[in-house]
């Protein structure tokens, strides 16, 4: 045994080939060489696009012109909305008592009362909204009246307003989407509110006061490109009275009837150059709403009545004016794609158990956590890429098809579109990781596939198409992995507009990425459990 | 030599002539397979527990505050758990056949019972029977939960919601129909799994077929033609119309007609399964 050292046999390429990159490569090879899995992913992408296109194509608008002309179809008869300064569709109808203001200046007023009329209270709204209804006194929560400075009288023009509201105190609102709170509390003759708007160049500042001497600044807004001559004065508006009701078969419906508000103004005082000599009262956007409105002047006291709203249009079926579909509707096929992805991701591990390949895999690379990590990265990446392609195609082609079929497609910023598309791809990837982890824990395909599908898809179905009340459906979409569909919400929820914000019309209870985080938490938990069990158990 | 064969191996009682396997033997063999593994028992128990639990939770989530009209079909509400329970029924039915394919047992089965349609028929009878039994318990529990919970949530007899009872015609129809619905879902799943063979793919296809229809219907709500078609002919939407006890006039398809549509789906799936099983190598 003195014949020197014995060199153990080492295959030439062994050193340096045991890295994580090799493990990734071997898992990728496993994935791409099983024809069924590749087909499964292609099917997932295809059904995602095709179902979205089907839904976009099946929704078809037809209408008849009011003058009894021929019936029209397609792009000629979608709803039209005024467009606000930010490019979003807006509601802009209210009663306006105005005078022109040239250059800088300000207007101050005391509001002593806000009252109104509502449609009947029994919840059984007449099936024909045009039918005369027995009104009753009362105000919708966002009935509003006050001062407004507006860049002309056309609908959708820039504005800033100080107002009293029925239930939300004094507010300053501008350009349809912004809303700032002032003094809380309702207005009454015993507790009047003083409002002031001051223009200085492009800047408009709003103040409120309880007594007309001590003033508090509520907010300052910049209205870019505001004309030198603007219209300023008093306004009143009252949004539609919305009742959210449950359907017999399931789901929820919203129905709206117009309401009206009447405000009493006193002590109107102005500074600056007001070239007009008298007040003009007219209804802005009379074609849109019922056109209820008018004003009465007695001495220094103005009584202004109006209906309608100055606010963003809320997307979704069943909301006022039926503004139709959003990006969310284009991605309906995600559910079908999701099921295919879950099946493929589960089989990526359970097939190894079924065929006994797991024993070879673990013999070749005994550090089991790293094997699962490599599988996670491979399945997550391929589903992300497939999802990205599918979601982008569904959004682009679906939007074109829907427009061609005359459906009003709610506009969204490119940042929102990007978030929805990338979020959908990430949702598919996270669901795939959850399925892989559960497949590792259970080692059986059928149970793992069912659990993941039921956990992600069923809460959504119960949310949109069951007799569950909105509260219970919202709760399901907060705590189950289905919360992740929040990344697909394309239209924002506005606290200052009451509407049907339900999952069925594309609104989710959690913020987009918060909802996605819920799914990620489930996936991480399952992955942790999978690593633990994979290490402890014999394969 | 031939006598020895006819007598069978020594020491074993000869009860029947060799080769005369009849339906009863096939059923007995399939029942033994089903009975002697732990999975089916757990799945049956899971169907009952989860159906009742989800039904009770859904019922408990709905309240009818006094002074408002509540257009809620309380019977349908108290049977909500069926939408959940059917997923477990689907696993049970899929595993009855795809489990044999994954272990290779199917080759033994078909060697012992060469009449392949009879094997599938025996599996269908046993799975349907098992699901009927489990479904009866699950639906009974759900109705009982509704009976206990609903009056406390404002759904009282004084306001037009009599105590839920199987003596009531529509309620009995909804309850018995839900049991049949589960059995038909089991047959549909069995047929699809026989065609597809792999359990993961089969369960994906079944759940996709069931759960996608309500989502698509909600999405094409703007198009009356397509939503009406889907409500009438999609297996889950059509089959679950059997649960409606109010507003029957407004339904897209009559309750029994809807269950009939599901039965047609199930029959088509089982027939396709039988055909493929005969034509294909195992």
CATH number at residue A253: 2.60.120
> Rounded to whole angstroms, how far apart are CA atoms B85 and B44?
10
Whether A461 and B211 lie within 8 Å, measured CB to CB: yes
Contacts of B208 in chain A (CB under 8 A): 336, 339-340
Quick one: A287 and A223 in the same domain?
A: yes
* B:89-128 residues touching chain A, CB 8 A cutoff: 90-91, 94-95, 98, 102
Report if residue A67 sits inside a domain: no
> Rounded to whole angstroms, how far apart are CA atoms A78 and A70?
16
Angle, helices B255-279/B116-149, rounded to nearest 10 degrees: 150
> Rounded to whole angstroms, how far apart are CA atoms B215 and A332?
8
Contacts of B62 in chain A (CB under 8 A): 467-469, 472
Contacts of A124 in chain B (CB under 8 A): 69
What string of pLDDT tens digits covers the 539 residues of chain A? 455 666 666 555 554 456 888 889 999 999 999 999 999 999 999 999 998 888 887 765 555 444 444 555 555 555 678 888 888 888 888 899 999 999 899 999 999 999 888 876 544 444 444 444 567 788 888 899 999 999 988 888 999 999 999 889 999 999 888 899 988 888 888 889 999 999 998 899 999 998 888 999 999 999 888 888 999 999 999 888 876 655 544 455 556 677 888 999 998 998 888 888 888 888 887 665 555 778 888 888 999 988 888 888 887 765 665 666 778 888 888 989 999 999 999 999 999 988 889 999 988 888 889 999 999 999 999 999 999 999 999 999 988 888 887 777 788 888 889 999 999 999 999 999 999 999 999 988 888 999 999 899 888 887 776 556 667 778 888 999 999 999 988 888 888 888 777 777 778 888 899 999 999 999 999 999 999 999 998 87
**Min distance B197 CA to chain A CA atoms (Å):** 12
> Rounded to whole angstroms, how far apart are CA atoms A120 and A521?
47
- B218 → closest Cβ in A448, A464, A467: A464
Quick one: A49 and A104 in the same domain?
A: no
Quick one: A342 and A285 in the same domain?
A: no
**What value does the CA radius of gyration of chain A take, rounded to a whole number of Å?**
30
Cβ–Cβ contact A69 with B under 8 A: no
Quick one: A345 and A303 in the same domain?
A: no
Report if residue A258 sits inside a domain: yes
> Rounded to whole angstroms, how far apart are CA atoms A34 and B201?
14
Whether B72 and A450 lie within 8 Å, measured CB to CB: no
> Rounded to whole angstroms, how far apart are CA atoms A305 and A116?
8
**Min distance A97 CA to chain B CA atoms (Å):** 40
Quick one: A486 and A380 in the same domain?
A: yes
Whether A407 and B222 lie within 8 Å, measured CB to CB: yes
Report if residue A5 sits inside a domain: no
Residue after which a domain boundary falls, among A257, A282, A312: A312
Residue after which a domain boundary falls, among A312, A334, A354: A312
CB B95 within 8 A of CB B88: no
Number of domains in chain A: 2
Report if residue A481 sits inside a domain: yes
Quick one: A336 and A475 in the same domain?
A: yes
Cβ–Cβ contact B53 with A under 8 A: no
Quick one: A145 and A285 in the same domain?
A: yes
Report the length, in residues, of chain A.
539
Quick one: A209 and A233 in the same domain?
A: yes
Whether A342 and B217 lie within 8 Å, measured CB to CB: no
Q: Where are the domains of chain B?
A: 21-279
Tell me the C-alpha to C-alpha distance, in Å, between residue B282 and each of A372, B109, B189, B270. Answer: 33, 10, 19, 17
Contacts of A468 in chain B (CB under 8 A): 58, 61-62, 80
Q: How many CA atoms lie within 13 A of A397 on its CB side?
A: 16
> Rounded to whole angstroms, how far apart are CA atoms A299 and A285?
28
Report if residue A64 sits inside a domain: no
Tell me the C-alpha to C-alpha distance, in Å, between residue A161 and each of A165, A237, A286. Answer: 12, 12, 20
Cβ–Cβ contact A500 with B under 8 A: no
Q: So what's the ipTM on this one?
A: 0.83
Cβ–Cβ contact B149 with A under 8 A: no
> Rounded to whole angstroms, how far apart are CA atoms A387 and A49?
10
> Rounded to whole angstroms, how far apart are CA atoms B31 and B107?
18
- What range defines the domain where residue A195 resides? 90-312
Report if residue A109 sits inside a domain: yes
Report if residue A516 sits inside a domain: yes
Report if residue A4 sits inside a domain: no
Residue after which a domain boundary falls, among A251, A284, A312: A312
């Amino acid at each position: 045994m003195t014949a020197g050292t014995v060199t153990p046999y080492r295959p030439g390429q062994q050193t340096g080939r045991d890295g994580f990159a090799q493990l990734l490569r071997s898992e990728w090879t496993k994935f791409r060489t099983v024809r069924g899995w590749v087909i499964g992913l292609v099917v997932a992408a295809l059904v995602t696009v095709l179902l979205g296109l089907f839904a976009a194509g099946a929704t078809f608008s037809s209408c008849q012109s009011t003058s009894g002309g021929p019936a029209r179809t397609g792009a000629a008869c979608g709803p039209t909305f005024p467009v606000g300064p930010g490019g979003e569709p807006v509601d802009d109808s209210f009663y306006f008592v105005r005078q022109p203001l040239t250059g800088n200046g300000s207007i101050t007023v005391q509001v002593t009362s806000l009252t109104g009329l509502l449609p009947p209270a029994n919840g059984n709204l007449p099936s024909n909204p045009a039918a005369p209804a027995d009104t009753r006194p009362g105000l919708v929560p966002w009935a509003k009246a006050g001062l407004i400075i507006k860049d002309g009288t056309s609908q959708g023009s820039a504005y800033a307003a100080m107002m009293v509201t029925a239930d939300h105190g004094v507010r300053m609102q501008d350009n349809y989407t912004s809303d700032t709170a002032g003094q809380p509390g309702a207005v009454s003759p015993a507790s009047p509110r003083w409002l002031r708007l001051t223009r200085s160049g492009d800047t408009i500042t709003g103040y409120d006061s309880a007594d007309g001497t001590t003033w508090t600044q509520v907010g300052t807004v910049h209205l870019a490109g505001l004309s030198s001559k603007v219209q300023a004065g008093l306004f009143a508006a009252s949004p539609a009275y919305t009742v959210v009701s449950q359907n017999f078969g399931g789901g929820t419906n919203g129905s709206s009837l117009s309401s009206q508000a009447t405000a009493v103004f006193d002590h109107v005082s102005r500074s600056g150059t007001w070239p007009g000599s008298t007040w003009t009262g007219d209804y802005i956007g009379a074609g849109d709403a019922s056109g209820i409105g008018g004003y009465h002047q007695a001495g220094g006291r103005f009584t202004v009545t109006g209906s309608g709203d100055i606010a963003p249009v809320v997307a979704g079926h069943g909301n006022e004016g039926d503004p139709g579909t959003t990006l969310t509707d284009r991605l309906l096929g995600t559910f079908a794609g999701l099921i295919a992805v879950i099946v493929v991701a589960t089989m990526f591990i359970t097939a190894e158990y079924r065929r006994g390949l797991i024993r070879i895999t673990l013999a070749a690379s005994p550090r089991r956590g790293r094997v699962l990590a490599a599988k996670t990265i491979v399945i997550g990446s391929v589903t992300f890429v497939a999802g990205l392609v599918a979601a982008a195609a569904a959004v682009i082609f679906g939007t074109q098809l829907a427009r061609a079929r005359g459906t009003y497609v709610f506009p969204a910023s490119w940042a929102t579109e990007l978030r929805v598309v990338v979020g959908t791809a990430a949702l598919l990837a996270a669901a795939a990781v959850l399925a892989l982890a559960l497949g590792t824990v259970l080692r059986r395909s059928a149970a793992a596939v069912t659990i993941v599908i039921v956990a992600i898809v069923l809460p959504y179905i119960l949310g949109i198409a069951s007799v569950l009340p909105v509260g219970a459906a919202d709760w399901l979409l907060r705590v189950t992995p289905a919360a992740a569909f929040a990344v697909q919400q394309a239209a924002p929820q506005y606290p200052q507009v009451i509407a049907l914000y339900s999952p069925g019309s594309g609104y989710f209870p959690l913020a987009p990425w918060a909802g996605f985080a819920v799914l990620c938490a489930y996936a991480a938990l399952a992955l942790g459990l999978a690593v633990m069990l994979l290490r402890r158990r014999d394969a | 030599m031939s006598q020895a064969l006819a007598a069978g191996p020594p020491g074993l009682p000869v009860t029947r002539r060799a080769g005369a396997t009849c339906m009863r033997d096939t059923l007995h063999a399939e029942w033994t397979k089903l009975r002697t593994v732990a999975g089916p028992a757990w799945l049956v128990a899971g169907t009952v527990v989860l159906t009742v639990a989800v039904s009770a939770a859904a019922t408990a989530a709905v309240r009818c505050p006094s002074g408002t009209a509540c257009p809620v079909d309380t019977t349908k509400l108290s049977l909500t758990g069926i939408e959940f329970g059917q997923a477990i029924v689907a696993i049970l039915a899929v595993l009855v056949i795809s489990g044999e394919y994954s272990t290779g047992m199917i080759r033994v089965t078909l060697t012992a019972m060469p009449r392949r349609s009879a094997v599938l028929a025996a599996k269908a009878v046993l799975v349907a029977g098992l699901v009927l039994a489990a479904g009866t318990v699950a639906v009974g529990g759900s109705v009982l939960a509704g009976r206990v919970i609903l009056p406390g949530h404002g759904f009282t007899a004084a306001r037009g919601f009599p105590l839920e009872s199987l003596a009531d015609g529509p309620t009995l129809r909804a309850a018995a129909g839900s049991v049949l619905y589960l059995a038909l879902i089991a047959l549909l799943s069995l047929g699809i799994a026989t065609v597809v063979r792999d359990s993961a793919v089969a369960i994906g296809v079944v759940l996709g077929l069931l759960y996608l229809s309500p989502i698509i219907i909600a999405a094409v709500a703007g198009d009356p033609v397509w939503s009406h078609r889907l409500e009438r002919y999609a297996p889950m939407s059509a089959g679950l119309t059997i649960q409606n006890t109010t507003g029957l006039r407004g339904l897209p398809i009559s309750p029994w007609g809807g269950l009939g549509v599901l039965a047609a789906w199930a029959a088509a799936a089982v027939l396709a399964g039988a055909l493929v099983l005969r034509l294909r190598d195992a």
